[in-house]
Amino acid sequence: MKKLITFLKRETVLAAAILLAVVSSVLVRPDMEYLGYIDYKTIGLLFSLMTVMAGFNRLGIFQRAGQWLLGRVSSPAAIAGVLVYLCFFLSMAITNDVALITFVPFAVTVLSMARMERLIVPVVVLQTIAANLGSMMTPVGNPQNLYLYSRAGIPFSEFLVLMAPYTAVSFALLFVCLVFVGRYWRKSGETTAAVEFKMQGDGGMTASGKLDFLIYLALFFVAMASVARVLPWQALCIAVLAAVFWRDKSLFFAVDYSLLLTFAAFFIFIGNMGRIPEFCAVLADVLEGREVITSVAASQVISNVPAALLLSGFSDQWEKLIIGTNLGGLGTLIASMASLISYKAIAVRFPEKKKSYFSLFTALNLVFLAVLLVMAL
């Protein structure tokens, strides 16, 4: 029983998705049509990208990049800016989850070493917002983008043009917030300590590590080609499986299989509900002309990835769904599951800061959401 409760707490979204799939299977008895529910392309691309990112992360590539940048700044405001914009720009390529898993602990360590603990909460809050908003720029930035981009069938360039205005405004809003962070630090009157990063020779990477890096880099470009529909996604999966079996089988354990299972369970639920005319009619009526606001609202309750999976089954307004589910990542703590990564990091290491983190997180998210929602409506 304890194991079940622990599982439900840790994998709430997955548990809910499985429950919905099971309940819907009672309404629509399993048959051969179930095999067509699963979007195998999305599952394959997600698996491949997560595996490649795990390889990069294991080599410490992203932290090395962060150290290199931080070694070229000295003021508290500049340090905060680097930590925040690292998440913003890198999330476009490595996903919001990976950006936060990598750089939130990194930021806490750097700020603690520099005696800038006062800035931990505002910087981590801004890192979280930056990762969620930076990731909306590209099809590979987050799981819902990858899925909706695949369903929409629009060109890669068209996706970038669609999300560029929101990304640009997000960049500007983050800059304004960082200005206030700098002023807040100056008013505190506290001093910082110098932080030195030791980079060994050419990065301290062994010959084997360099080979791994080149392999993962090649796989990343293959992944981009697959996302852009230049190469078949099956070729990417085969290449990733072959490379991991050859170089590091333990990477298979670094993949977020709960996310893949969540997708599969929601595909079953959506497929079943799509065969119930009454449900389709009601949800289609709710969505019609209100795709953006409905996506944002649904994301606040079930998070934006499940919202994208659910609503895509009943609307073909792909651009509005893409905008709505991306903006929907702002707001509540569960609007984007990636946000929980940062919250958990703060709650575990600084339990006394949980309330202040939650308050600032909610306030800034609502401000960002209000501004971007005005643009979208």
> What tens digit of pLDDT does each residue of 155-212 get?
989 999 999 999 999 999 999 999 998 888 787 766 665 555 554 444 567 788 888 8
Looking at residue 202, its pLDDT comes to 47
> What tens digit of pLDDT does each residue of 335-356 get?
887 887 888 888 878 888 888 9
pLDDT, averaged across the chain: 84
Domain with 217 in it = 16-190+201-376
Question: Of the candidates 222, 10, 228, 178, which has an alpha carbon nearest to the alpha carbon of residue 78?
Answer: 178
Least confident of 69-73, 216-220, 273-277: 69-73
Q: Is residue 7 part of a domain?
A: no
> What tens digit of pLDDT does each residue of 231-250 get?
888 999 999 999 999 988 88
State yes or no: pLDDT of 357 exceeds 70.
yes
Q: Is residue 153 part of a domain?
A: yes
Is residue 364 within 8 Å of residue 132, measured between CB atoms?
Answer: no
Q: Is residue 293 part of a domain?
A: yes
Predicted model pTM = 0.80
Q: Is residue 369 part of a domain?
A: yes
Please report, for residues 57, 217, 221, 356, the alpha-carbon distance to residue 366 in angstroms, rounded to integers and kept in the order given: 31, 37, 36, 16
Distance CA 260, CA 313 (A): 18
At residue 255, what is the residue type?
Answer: V
Q: Is residue 51 part of a domain?
A: yes
Indicate the number of domains in the chain: 1
Q: Is 58 helix (H, G, I), strand (E, B) or coil?
A: helix
Q: What are phi and psi of 67, to 5 degrees?
A: -65, -40
Distance CA 309, CA 81 (A): 34
> What tens digit of pLDDT does each residue of 93-131 get?
878 888 888 788 888 888 887 778 888 999 999 999 999
Count of positions (residues) in the chain: 377
Question: Of the candidates 134, 114, 105, which has an alpha carbon nearest to the alpha carbon of residue 73?
Answer: 114
Q: Is residue 195 part of a domain?
A: no
Q: Is residue 2 part of a domain?
A: no
Q: Is residue 364 part of a domain?
A: yes
What lies within 8 Å, CB to CB, of 365 at 6+ separation is: 129, 330, 331, 332, 335
